[in-house]
Amino acid sequence: MHLEEINEEQFDTIYPLFEDNFPKEERKSYQGLKDLHKRSDYHVLADGNKMMAAYYEADDFIMVAHLSIRKDLQSHGYGSKILAYLQEKIGKMIVVEVEHPVDALTKRRVAFYKRNGFYFNDQYDYQLPPMEEGYPFVPLVLMTTKQPLDDEMYDRMVKIMYEQMYEYNGEKQ
């Protein structure tokens, strides 16, 4: 595995990883994702078109918006290696958004993050803001490394995620 930060010109190489692994309600449009590369707080690390992690960086945490492994390479430990790399390279709390564990796939995803040291913060009613005009809020759960969230951390983190990372200033659901 050889992760390198990619730029806007290299975006088309990894776009299929977004499209294949995330429903449209949980990602921005093609142009919206491509435009994120102009931001200084947004980073995408990739190993060619095999795997990638896209994350936003705040002062004291990073929010991994997309962790994606090409389907034929899944279940070989690459996701765990990427998370370990991020933890070692950046050293801040890592936050991910996951679906509520209601079926085999979502239960497997939550178990993956728990195996990698994440806390499941389902005591909060977190909603992913609409990624595009007309898209719905998506009920998700925040998972964090280092420690579970308390009320103060949760409120501060969601405010940063909504306003700075997602640039959403509308009403919360």
Number of domains composing the chain = 1
In-domain check, residue 139: yes
pTM of the model: 0.90
CATH number at 151 reads: 3.40.630.30
- The predicted-structure confidence for 102-154, as pLDDT tens digits, reads as follows 999 999 999 999 999 999 999 999 999 888 888 888 899 999 999 999 999 99
CA atoms within 13 A on the CB side of 126: 26
Domain contains 172: no
Alpha-carbon gap, residue 35 to 105, rounded angstroms: 30
Is 173 inside a domain boundary?
no
CB-based contacts of 90: which residues, under 8 Å, 6+ apart? 57, 62
pLDDT digits (tens, 9 = 90+) for 23-49: 877 878 888 888 888 889 999 999 988
Tell the burial category of 85 from Cβ atoms under 10 Å away from its Cβ (0-12, 13-18, 19+).
Answer: middle
Residue range of the domain that includes 136: 4-165
Residue 171 in domain: no
* Domain membership flag for residue 29: yes
* pLDDT over 70, % of the chain: 98
Residue 170 within a domain: no
Number of C-beta neighbours around residue 173 at 10 A: 13
